[in-house]
């Protein structure tokens, strides 16, 4: 693999996925991750890289513009990568290119869509993971990186095999790019299967609904607010906690116009334990998004023992099966407002029935299973390459 996802993210779903898979590879798969150093929290937590920061060491812990300039200059001279003028020149990419040029590997697996490796890989096969096709589905409507779109369109047809994180994503790849279905394997994400132990008396917010993640465009946040407003009016004790970025000026104004600004609380989440605690004590986790590649928060809520409410859209029925309360924005009897009022009126027995189904569904998703399936792809691609 390479360092792309880990250079791009200090934390986040893509880099976390790869870190989990790397640490669970079967013994017959020797996976090399040529990362010189990284700020990625998952790599550090799992001991895959050291806690070293050569930039801060060079600056004696006190960066200044002059020190930053000399660090870049000296490192680029040492590494011979003259055009890299970022904070930390791409030491790991340089190392990856060096190893690729040696050719001593069976399969290469880039962790994102940069095409730099094509000039170094020769005739060796590479496997590509596609986490979603959201930019392609909404091209021309929402603003996405044209660079990412261009690179995906180039790499997906060239890959020896493509991994999709859901059948929904696989179908998008087939329909939007015309890729043969047999070239794509679906490998679902996993989650830590150890039992979650809630923090006693850890609820500092009373009765609340939980909204996790970004809120822009296809996430349907505004529609969610409109649907939940009447529910909040009917339940004065109820609030909504939102994670991710603070409310924008536009969101703040929208909430005020609908008379619910005081009922929406923004919460920064600093650890896995903190987000699991928020799930556990919520009346429900609501996922109104129109499109996702997989939906890791569904599994997080399952593990935390939180009732899950999902928009009947995208990959959600595939991932959740019958282990969720589904709503349809365009249906009055099945709309979010109606289904939420229904859930809030449940008896403890009704709630426990759903949680039991969710716990059963959770067993389908483990990182060990995902790693074994990924290893099978590596074996098949290597065998096909060596026998053609």
223 pLDDT band (50/70/90 cuts)?
A: very high
In a domain? residue 202: no
Tell whether the model's pLDDT for residue 85 goes beyond 50. Answer: no
pTM surpassing 0.75?
yes
Mean pLDDT, residues 158-165: 98
- Looking at 34-38, 147-151, 189-193, 348-352, which range is the least confident one? 34-38
Separation between Cα atoms, residue 242 and residue 218, nearest integer Å? 16
Separation between Cα atoms, residue 100 and residue 122, nearest integer Å? 8
- Transcribe 43-90 into DSSP letters: HHHTTSS-S--HHHHHTTT---HHHHHHHHHHHHHHHT-TT--SSS--
Separation between Cα atoms, residue 377 and residue 21, nearest integer Å? 13
1 pLDDT band (50/70/90 cuts)?
A: very high
**pLDDT confidence of residue 325:** 98
Residues 177 and 220 occupy one common structural domain: no
In a domain? residue 198: no
Residue with tokens 């909504």: 240
pLDDT digits (tens, 9 = 90+) for 314-330: 999 999 999 999 999 98
Residues 134 and 261 occupy one common structural domain: no
Q: What is the CATH number of the domain that holds 381?
A: 3.40.50
Residues 138 and 244 occupy one common structural domain: no
Mean pLDDT, residues 204-233: 95
In a domain? residue 310: yes
Residues 166 and 314 occupy one common structural domain: no
- Could you give the dihedral angle defined by the CA atoms of residues 95, 99, 101 and 106, in that order, rounded to the nearest 10 degrees? -140
Tell whether the model's pLDDT for residue 141 goes beyond 80. Answer: no
Residues 293 and 154 occupy one common structural domain: no
Task: Calculate Rg over the CA atoms of the chain.
Answer: 23
Domain of residue 232 covers 207-362
Residue 263 burial (C-beta neighbours within 10 Å; 0-12, 13-18, 19+): buried
Residues 50 and 81 occupy one common structural domain: yes
Residues 49 and 171 occupy one common structural domain: yes
Residues 231 and 182 occupy one common structural domain: no
Q: What is the CATH number of the domain that holds 309?
A: 3.40.50.2000
**pLDDT confidence of residue 54:** 67
Which pair of tokens denotes residue 240? 């909504």
Higher pLDDT, 80 or 362: 362
Residue 51 burial (C-beta neighbours within 10 Å; 0-12, 13-18, 19+): exposed
Count of structural domains within the chain: 2
In a domain? residue 200: no
In a domain? residue 199: no
In a domain? residue 340: yes
In a domain? residue 248: yes
Residues 302 and 326 occupy one common structural domain: yes
Residues 358 and 371 occupy one common structural domain: no
Q: Considering the chain, what is the average pLDDT of its residues? A: 91
pLDDT digits (tens, 9 = 90+) for 108-131: 999 999 999 999 999 999 999 999
Which pair of tokens denotes residue 81? 């990568």
Q: Please name which of 252, 166, 159, 240 lies closest in space to residue 207, comparing C-alpha atoms.
A: 240
- Transcribe 223-251 into DSSP letters: HHHHHHHHHHHH-TTEEEEE-SSPPPHHH
Tell whether the model's pLDDT for residue 84 goes beyond 50. Answer: no
Contacts of residue 334, defined as CB under 8 A and 6 or more positions apart, other chains included, come to 312, 326, 327, 328
Residues 374 and 301 occupy one common structural domain: no
SS3 275: helix
Q: Please name which of 126, 131, 121, 96 lies closest in space to residue 109, comparing C-alpha atoms.
A: 126
CB 26 within 8 A of CB 369: no
Residue with tokens 């091209």: 139
Mean pLDDT, residues 48-63: 70
Pairing of the two strands 308-311 and 284-287: parallel
SS3 252: helix
Residues 212 and 179 occupy one common structural domain: no
**pLDDT confidence of residue 300:** 96
In a domain? residue 291: yes
């Amino acid at each position: 693999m390479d360092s792309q996802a880990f250079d791009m993210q200090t934390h986040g779903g893509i880099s976390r996925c790869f870190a989990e898979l790397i640490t669970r590879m079967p013994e017959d798969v020797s996976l090399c991750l040529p990362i010189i150093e990284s700020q990625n929290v998952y790599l550090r937590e799992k001991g895959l890289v050291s806690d070293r920061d050569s930039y801060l060491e060079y600056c004696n812990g006190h960066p200044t513009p002059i020190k930053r300039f000399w660090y870049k200059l000296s490192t680029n001279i040492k590494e011979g990568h003259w055009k890299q003028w970022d904070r930390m020149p791409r030491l790991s990419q340089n190392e990856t290119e060096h190893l690729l040029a040696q050719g001593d590997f069976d399969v290469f697996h880039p962790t994102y869509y940069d095409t730099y490796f094509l000039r170094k890989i020769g005739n060796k096969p590479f496997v590509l993971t596609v986490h979603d096709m959201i930019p392609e589905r909404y091209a021309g409507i929402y603003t996405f990186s044209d660079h990412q779109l261009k690179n995906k369109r180039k790499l997906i047809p060239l890959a020896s095999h493509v991994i999709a994180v859901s059948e929904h994503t696989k179908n998008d790849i087939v329909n939007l790019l015309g890729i043969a279905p047999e070239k794509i394997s679906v490998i679902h994400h996993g989650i830590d299967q150890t039992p979650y132990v809630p923090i006693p008396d850890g609820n500092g917010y009373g009765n609340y609904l939980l909204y996790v993640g970004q809120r822009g465009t296809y996430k349907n946040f505004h529609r969610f607010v409109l649907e939940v407003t009447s529910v909040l009016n009917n339940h004065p004790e109820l609030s909504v906690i939102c994670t991710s970025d603070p409310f924008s000026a536009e969101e703040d104004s929208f909430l005020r116009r609908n008379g619910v600004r005081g009922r929406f609380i923004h919460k920064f989440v600093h650890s896995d334990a903190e987000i699991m605690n928020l799930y556990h004590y919520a009346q429900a986790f609501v996922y109104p998004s129109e499109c996702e590649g997989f939906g890791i928060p569904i599994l997080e809520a399952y593990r935390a023992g939180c009732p899950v409410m999902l928009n009947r859209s995208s990959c959600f029925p595939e991932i959740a099966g019958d282990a969720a309360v589904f709503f349809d924005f365009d249906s009055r009897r099945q709309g979010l407002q109606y289904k939420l009022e229904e859930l809030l009126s449940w008896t403890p027995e009704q709630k426990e029935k759903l949680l039991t189904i969710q716990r059963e569904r959770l067993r389908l998703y483990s990182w060990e299973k995902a790693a074994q399936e990924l290893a099978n792809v590596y074996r098949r691609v290597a065998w096909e390459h060596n026998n053609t």
